[in-house]
Amino acid sequence: MDLMLDVFDNDAEAVQGGDSDTINKATSPIMGYSLRYNNLTALIMAASDSTVVTLTWALSLLVNNPNILKKAHLAIDTYAGKERQVEESDGQNLVYLKAILKETLPLYPAAPLLIPHEATEDCTIDGYDVQKGTRLLANIWKIQYDPRVWPNPNEFEPQRFLTHKDVDVRGQNFEYLPFGSGRSMCPGVSFALQVMELTLATLIHRFDFETPTGEPINMNESIGLTHQRATPLEVLLSLRLPSRLYGQ
């Protein structure tokens, strides 16, 4: 997008059939060709939705697992302390926080069926003949819940990713595909991880969480293209840091 803006600002002839703003907004950064709808807006909305979904499930899991939340508090306090706010530069040291996110992504993937893929040639998948041009939907929820690969797949166990530190979220390990794989994988994976890690670290560092009733949070799921909670997440917050740090 930066390059396109630069080209249009310096070369009026590059704009054919419309003004630069219209063409930029209607151009897909993924596919490389113009679409009839505002694809850039769709990308921003999709990214915001999936990020919120993942963070909401992560908090839900932490509230229902206070022992893991306590470990997360301890891990962040070890590097950031309680006399300053957690910063993005702390992220490389927050190994346990990364494990919490890695564990949340397969349990409650924001897009359980990914985006549609298309077979570029005739092939055979698990004994089924698939013709070229067939639209395919990858059920990553099923893949990531496979007990043959992941022991206790229904349990929230971030420590499994302390053992399997090398499991990649960028589609290199086909048993773990939270952002998809190949040319059609999520283009915002790097940005998404940075935003989620810093946001979750900030929330855990600043607050303690509990339910209004003292009972575990209802983890029922709704039906839709994204993996939403069936009911809003409601928690009580209590401050963990000196009050002066909340006014910045």
The whole-number pLDDT of residue 236 equals: 96
* 129-156 mean pLDDT: 91
pLDDT for 9 beyond 80: no
The whole-number pLDDT of residue 31 equals: 41
- Mean pLDDT, the chain, integer: 85
* 215-239 mean pLDDT: 92
Q: 191 falls in which pLDDT band (50, 70, 90)?
A: confident
What is the helix (H) or strand (E) element at residue 201, kind and residue range?
helix 189-206
Q: 171 falls in which pLDDT band (50, 70, 90)?
A: confident
Q: 39 falls in which pLDDT band (50, 70, 90)?
A: low
Task: Give bridge partners of residue 209 from the DSSP assignment.
Answer: 237
* 60-70 mean pLDDT: 97
The whole-number pLDDT of residue 45 equals: 64
Select from 3.40.50.12500, 1.10.630.10, 1.20.120.80, 1.10.340.30 the CATH code of 50-246: 1.10.630.10
Cα 230 to Cα 228: distance, rounded to the nearest angstrom: 6
Binding residues for heme: 186
The whole-number pLDDT of residue 26 equals: 62
Residue whose tokens read 């949070």: 217
pLDDT for 32 beyond 50: no
Read off the pLDDT of residues 76-126 as tens digits, 9 standing for 90 and up: 999 999 999 999 999 889 999 999 999 999 999 998 988 888 889 999 988
Binding residues: 186
Domain limits, the chain: 1-39, 50-246
With a pLDDT cut of 90, the percent of the chain lying above it is 53
The whole-number pLDDT of residue 33 equals: 38
| 3-class DSSP state of 248 | coil
Cα 22 to Cα 8: distance, rounded to the nearest angstrom: 11
The whole-number pLDDT of residue 35 equals: 41
